[in-house]
Amino acid sequence: MCAIRRYNDGAGRCAQAKQWGWTGGRWPKRSPEFLLHVLKNAESNAERKGSDVDYLVIEHIQVNKAAKMRAERTELTAG
């Protein structure tokens, strides 16, 4: 559950958000898809190496904020 506090035009209210004192919230879609893709990739890598997939353990997961993109600046010259 992710709170929607800014840029919330068109976002409906969510009953589960009351647990944390929020009025609006959504369930994320893209980030779990990326995580599932990474987990499936790890599983297929283990199968390829010949390891037993049932005994795989996730020891550490770290998610970092994406780098901010810089806008190109074009200089305007009066000719």
Q: What is the pLDDT of residues 7-20, one digit of tens each?
A: 777 777 778 888 88
Phi-psi map region of 31: left, alpha, beta (phi>0 left; psi -120 to 50 alpha): alpha
Residue 62 lies in a domain: no
Residue 21 lies in a domain: yes
Count CA atoms closer than 13 A to 14's CA, side-chain side: 19
Give the chain's domain count: 1
> Is residue 76 scored above 90 in pLDDT?
no
Residue 79 has a pLDDT of 60
Residue 25 lies in a domain: yes
The answer to whether 8 and 23 have CB atoms below 8 angstroms apart is no
Residue 65 lies in a domain: no
Q: How far apart are CA 46 and CA 62, in angstroms?
A: 20
Residue 19 lies in a domain: yes
Residue 10 lies in a domain: yes
- What is the domain range of residue 47? 2-53
Residue 16 lies in a domain: yes
